[in-house]
Amino acid sequence: MKIVFVYWGYANAGSMLDLQGYERAARALGHELTIYGPAEVELGLPYSKVLAGADAVVFVFEWTTHLQYGDWVDWVRLVGSVPRRRRVVIDCDGAYNDPIEIDGDYNHSSTGGRMSWAGGDELWGCAGTISAEASSRAWIELCDSLSDKIFQPTPRPLRANVGTFLFHIYDPTWETPLDFSAKDLDMVYVGHTKFRWQGMSRVLGAIEGVRDRVGRLALVGEGWARTLDQHVRAGIEDNFYCDRVYLEQLGVETLPAVPFEQVIETMSRAVFNPVVYRPLFAHLGLVTCRTFETPAAGTIPLFVLDEGYIRELYGDRATELIFGGDRPQEKLLDVLARPNYYAGIVTEIRRAFARLHSPQARLRELVEIIER
């Protein structure tokens, strides 16, 4: 089967590692997988605009429904290349819903930069604004025009016509030894600042009271060190807020984003990594690429997430890795003091994930969806 993915890729963000895993699984299982775009794109994936022989087109939408490499002619080519029943939409960020706002986070807003997914050329808010309701309608109508097979990576989609497909993968080839003998950081978080400050400030607040007993701390990604100009131009800089004065006072190092191929390696530099979701994603029960990447890294994940979610996805014993309670600093210090104990829990997670969420398992599920 030849499967064409449509995805807006970045060198230092998004689900690129997932797509690499899908491509390797496709070759192993006798399929062909390409990403729609010019062959000269250098993002470590097989880009191609050749649609001849395509058996399915899979639209993976995150922050936008725009084509990264194409225009309306390309849309016509994509929808004309396979029948409607062979097209699939994966709505990764919960935008295929009515407008939702949770603790300042949202899936739709009247801010122009967030409306770039509504169509036209409004990237980064350059062409005015529309309402959150209009943005939601435009997103839903576009997805409905492409396929009847619409999925979100959550066990509990809100809309009756949406199915569950977790999409993101756990790739055993990512696994890094759980060796804590020579870590240069006690904590690292790898990811951009977008709506992450609420969760990250909880972690740092716990560290503050025991700062003299915790070593180097680092935040890696866009927005931690400074506000980005494009966010200011779009009027969405508040979405990427963090208290940089507080970070400096706490001695937190703010480092630039790394290419997606270096995410696992960078997470593996520290004893523990906080797993922090956007409030919207936590509310919707979404999984993300970081859901599966963190247990594969040579580190201890500390979940700033709901206990029920952790039990359902990671298993009962993983609740020992939840950050929180009345004395969260005690959990931090215990992880630093006994990392090998917690590594045993991570090893159990790895075994289960390798069976349930491997690239091959996920691709087989996707093929079943296509063939229904």
CATH number of the domain bearing residue 19: 3.40.50
Q: Are 82 and 38 contained in the same domain?
A: yes
Q: Degrees (nearest 5) of the Cα angle 278, 280, 284? A: 120
Retrieve residue 272's tokens. 């523990």
* Burial label, 44 (beta-carbon count in 10 A; 0-12, 13-18, 19+): middle
Q: Degrees (nearest 5) of the Cα angle 15, 282, 135? A: 70
Cα 182 from Cα 191, distance rounded (Å):
23
Retrieve residue 99's tokens. 């407008």
Q: Are 23 and 93 contained in the same domain?
A: yes
Q: Are 71 and 219 contained in the same domain?
A: no
CB 122 within 8 A of CB 112: yes
CB 348 within 8 A of CB 317: yes
Domain that holds residue 152: 2-167+359-371
Cα 276 from Cα 282, distance rounded (Å):
9
With a CB cutoff of 8 Å and minimum separation 6, the contacts of 328 are 202, 203, 206
**What does pTM read for this prediction?**
0.92
Q: Are 17 and 162 contained in the same domain?
A: yes
CB 23 within 8 A of CB 45: yes
Chain-centroid distance, C-alpha 54: 27
Q: Are 81 and 162 contained in the same domain?
A: yes
Q: Are 235 and 140 contained in the same domain?
A: no
Q: Are 305 and 201 contained in the same domain?
A: yes
Q: Are 273 and 177 contained in the same domain?
A: yes
Q: Are 201 and 336 contained in the same domain?
A: yes
Q: Are strands 2-6 and 105-106 parallel, antiparallel or unpaired?
A: unpaired
CATH number at residue 279: 3.40.50.2000
Q: Are 83 and 176 contained in the same domain?
A: no
Cα 221 from Cα 216, distance rounded (Å):
17
Retrieve residue 329's tokens. 């600093």
Q: Are 214 and 160 contained in the same domain?
A: no
Kind plus residue range of the DSSP H or E element containing 22:
helix 16-28
Q: Are 158 and 186 contained in the same domain?
A: no
Query: What is the chain's pLDDT, residue by residue, as a tens digit (372 residues)?
Result: 999 999 998 877 779 899 999 999 999 999 999 999 999 888 889 999 999 999 999 999 998 888 988 888 999 999 999 999 999 999 999 999 999 999 999 999 865 434 344 344 444 344 456 788 988 999 999 999 999 999 999 999 999 999 999 999 999 999 999 999 999 999 999 999 999 999 999 999 999 999 999 999 999 999 999 988 888 887 888 999 999 999 999 999 999 999 989 999 999 999 999 999 999 999 999 999 999 999 999 999 999 999 999 999 999 999 999 998 788 999 999 999 999 999 999 999 999 999 999 999 999 999 999 999
Give CA separation, 203 vs 184, 207, 233, in Å. Answer: 19, 6, 30
- For the chain, the domain total comes to 2
Which of 107, 142, 86, 47 has its CA nearest to residue 286?
Answer: 107
Residues paired with 101 in a beta bridge: 106
Residues paired with 106 in a beta bridge: 101
